[in-house]
Amino acid sequence: MQHAQEPLVIFDCDGVLVDSEPLSVRVLMDAVAAHGGTLSEAEAYRRFLGRSMATMVSILDEDFGIAADAAFLEGMRRALYQRFEEELQPIEGIANALQQMPWRKCVASSSQPERIRLSLRLTGLQNFFEPHIFSATMVKRGKPEPDLFLHAAAEMNAEPSQCVVVEDSPAGILAAKRAGMRVFAFTGGSHADREEYREEVAALSPDVIFDDMDKLLHLVAESLGVDAP
């Protein structure tokens, strides 16, 4: 059993480990359009970034009049996985950072477990985390509530005060803060060049905002008050 005072670095997946957000948003926009709705790229990022499947289904139903039933979701899943197979890339520098990281680590993502593992497998990152992969499907409330991060910490026998969360979405940043954890906002994904997004992230006052994974180890070490590897 790991000691609860040992540091734990908790990674979101989409937009932090893999550069998937533009692919996901395009698939969602296409699905909404196919059902007679209109969803701009800016609105898609603002309303859906970092949210769970359950939240997405609720928003589509209540605000777009789209019943995201099993057939709708299966069509989106097939389209997304095809794009992943063809185009998905890891975030630049993340593999090297994970290779050198001396602290315990896990994934806590709003995505379905199957999608998380597919993303990590396609980008060569899965072995850095297995079996410590946690999904919003494992808790009652998804981000921006703290449930998922608290669940991951409990499963890893880590105190929230010893956890560093690496997130890219406003919902995830809020969830980490509500969990009583340090949160590092990563703004280096290809979806992060929008001024509105950067302003929203900054307004949430994360502990650190950074856009280069080559700096992650130093930043975590500095936050924990330990020597960098």
Length of the chain: 229
The answer to whether the CB of 176 falls within 8 A of the CB of 149 is: yes
CA dist 77 and 210 (Å) reads 31
pLDDT tens, N- to C-terminus, the chain (229 residues): 455 678 999 999 999 999 998 998 899 999 999 988 899 988 998 888 777 788 888 999 998 999 888 999 899 899 999 999 999 999 999 999 999 999 999 999 999 999 999 999 999 999 999 999 999 999 999 999 999 999 999 999 999 999 999 999 999 999 999 999 999 999 999 888 888 899 999 999 999 999 999 999 999 999 988 877 7
Ordered structural domains, the chain, with CATH: 8-19+89-224 (3.40.50.1000), 21-87 (1.10.150.240)
